Structure 1
């Protein structure tokens, strides 16, 4: 079994090395509107510090964004109302539509060399947890399962994560949150601080992508429904801690929305970006032909298997994941829009949670060994 762990560990490291080599040759001017918009947010943070939360176009007095648009040959670079990823707000302000988290992370690295370090850092987190899963495996089948999933998770950091800069940090947060969720549920006495930390991480993920707010849905259902049924103080405290963690984690986005849109609860997205729910067979068919479909099948299959065969904390992990999958897949599948990464976060959060829940199950005690350590009956006590 040690040999199998070594082999799969080396496979994960080889994929990581290949990814880093590929990432090192990426260009930050690949002609994608989202890219330059995230880089503009990073530039604002580097110029103004916390003041970078204000993304009003008047702050482009150094012509940074105009220069980026010229690099990609954007024809209407002079017209601020036509700037990509920007929307007019009440009062005449024109602001970035995205939450500030991705730009903040990019701002941690030197201008011109921001994207590659962000992706490498996120990939190292994912690979580290993949290796941890392989190390925790106790049986050959679990080593194979952890190894294959770990290799897949590391590979996904380059495809489809490259499609949007917001996906790389989201994938890292999902990996850590999935691991901590399994740890939280595996304990007989569940830590309030640990569930608050999970909520904090999921709240932080909202700063990368607003739809990441849905990643917390299964947790609220798991904690909220039992409380309504039992009125347990312990369950209430757990739910309160989780909710407080989510709120604190997403605070930067709420502050940014208050600054840019006039209210913490107002979105900076335009009306064209807000799509009403509707079931579209053409969009659903795109999911069927995409890598996301494989991840969805894996997540649903693993959930159903643990719901049926799992016990204790494994079954509870499956309950959290099932609620999350229903809400998230229900939302994305009912909106007539498709991208190659929309359901990747919920699929990966689910798979990380289920994988570690399985790996953290208590070791089985063989019956023969157990019998050898049982106290002898009174009739067998030596005279």
Structure 2
């Protein structure tokens, strides 16, 4: 076990080092619209502090964004209505469409050197948790699972995480939330504060990408359905704490929408991005051809396996993940837009949760489960 842990640890460290080396040579001027829009939000926070939540185009009085548009040869840089990633609001404002979280994180670093430190920080979090899972593994199967998944998770921090500045911090949050979920479910007496913290993290992820709100769906189902059956006060308190945590976590986005769109529940996205669900075979085929299908298959396969063979808290973790996968995959598979990272957050949250649930399981539990399953397959013993 020790030599296997060392081997997996060295593999993960090598991938992490390669990521950091590659990121250190990245440029912040790669000509992508999303990039300069996130950097504009960061610039507003650095200039105005909390008032940077107001992304009205008139706030570009120092011509920062105009300069960024000129750098990428955007021909209509003078007209805010034509600015990429910006949409007109009913009150006459032209505002950024993205929630403020990614810009806030970028604002923590000095202008001109913001993207690389953000990605390195996210990589260190993911790498640290991958090494922790390897170190905590108590059985060979859980060690192999943690080692292989840890290497995969670190590798994904380059591609597809580089496709959008919002993906890397989302993946780091999913890793932390996966660990805390496994810890929460591993305890006989579940902590209200811990589930509130999980809710806070998942709510905070909404500040990075609005669809991250769906990451909380499985938790609401896991807590809500048993409450409807039992009317248990303990389950109600757990659900209330989780919901409150989600609400507090996403408060910056609600505030930004109130400022920019006129209501906390109004979106700053344009009509092209807010569309009714509809199944599109072409979009579905794109997922089949993309790397995301590998993550989907891994998440579904691991969930089904642990629902069948898992013990105690491992099976409960699989129930949370199953609900989350159903809701999230149903949404994205019927969302008539495809990107190479849409289902990455839900698959990574699912796999982190299951990976940590397995390594936190007592070493004797998998063997006991195997014996019971084998005995059950033989049928009742003759008397």
In the superposition, the TM-score normalised over structure 1's length comes to 0.95
Work out the CA distance in 2 between the residues paired with 1:277 and 1:196: 31
Please list the CA deviations of residues 7-49 of structure 1 after superposition, one character each: whole Å capped at 9, or x if unmatched. Answer: 1101111101100011011110101000000000000000000
Matched residue, 1:155: 155
1:90 deviates by 1.3
Does structure 1 residue 318 correspond to structure 2 residue 318? Answer: yes
C-alpha separation in 1, matches of 2:143 and 2:185: 22
**SS at the partner of 1:271?**
coil
Distance of 2:344 and 2:235 partners within structure 1:
30
Residue 363 of structure 1 and its aligned partner are, at CA, apart by 3.0
Contact 2:138 2:362 in 1 (8 A): no
Deviation, 1:364, is 1.5
Question: Is this contact kept in 1: 2:143–2:359, CA < 8 A?
Answer: no
Per-residue deviation at 1:322? Answer: 0.3
Residue equivalent to 2:203? 203
SS at match of 1:188: coil
Distance of 2:5 and 2:129 partners within structure 1? 14
| SS of residue matched to 2:87 | strand
Work out whether 1:253 is the aligned partner of 2:253. yes
Runs of 4+ in structure 1 off by over 6 angstroms are none
Give the Å deviation of 1:273: 1.2
Identify the residue that residue 244 of structure 1 maps to in structure 2: 244
Q: 2:110 aligned with 1:104, yes or no?
A: no
Aligned pairs (5 A) from 1:280-359: 280-359=280-359
1:140, CA displacement in angstroms? 2.4
Report the Cα offset of residue 91 of structure 1: 1.5
The aligned counterpart of 1:381 is none
Matching residue of 1:278 = 278
Q: Displacement of 1:114 after TM fit?
A: 0.2
In the TM superposition, residue 275 of structure 1 has moved relative to its aligned partner by 2.1
Residues 203-242 of structure 1 mapped to structure 2, 5 A cutoff: 203-242=203-242
Output the CA distance in 2 between the equivalents of 1:159 and 1:139.
30
SS in 2 for 1:95: strand
Cα offset, 1:143, TM superposition? 1.7
SS at match of 2:38: helix
Partner secondary structure for residue 273 of structure 1: coil
What CA distance in whole angstroms lies between the structure 2 residues aligned with 1:192 and 1:139? 30
State the SS of the aligned residue for 1:272: coil
Q: Equivalent residue for 1:190?
A: 190
Structure 1 partner of 2:165: 165
CA deviation map 1:126-155 (0-9, x unaligned): 000000000011222322221110000000
User: Which residue does the alignment assign to 1:177?
Assistant: 177
Q: C-alpha separation between the residues in 1 aligned to 2:212 and 2:142?
A: 30
- What TM-score do you get using the length of structure 2 for normalisation? 0.95
Q: How many residues align?
A: 367
Aligned to 1:377: none
Return the offset for 1:75.
Answer: 0.9
Query: How far off is 1:272 after superposition?
Result: 1.2
Deviations 1:39-73 (A, max 9, x none): 00000000000000000000000000000000000
The answer to whether 1:12 aligns with 2:27 is no
Question: 1:128 corresponds to which residue?
Answer: 128
Distance 2:56 2:216 in 1: 30
Cα deviations by residue, 1:241-291 (Å, 9 ceiling, x for unpaired):
000000000000000000000000000001111122111111101101111
Shift of 1:362: 2.0
Give the Å deviation of 1:105: 0.2
How many Å apart are 1:99 and its aligned residue? 0.2
SS of corresponding position for 2:127: helix
- Partner residue, 2:22: 22
Would you say the 8 A contact 2:139–2:363 is kept in 1? no
Q: Give, in angstroms, the shift of residue 4 of structure 1.
A: 0.9
Distance (Å, rounded) in 2 between the aligned partners of 1:54 and 1:251: 15
Is the Cα–Cα contact under 8 Å of residues 314 and 358 in structure 2 kept in the other structure? yes
SS of the residue corresponding to residue 361 of structure 2 reads coil
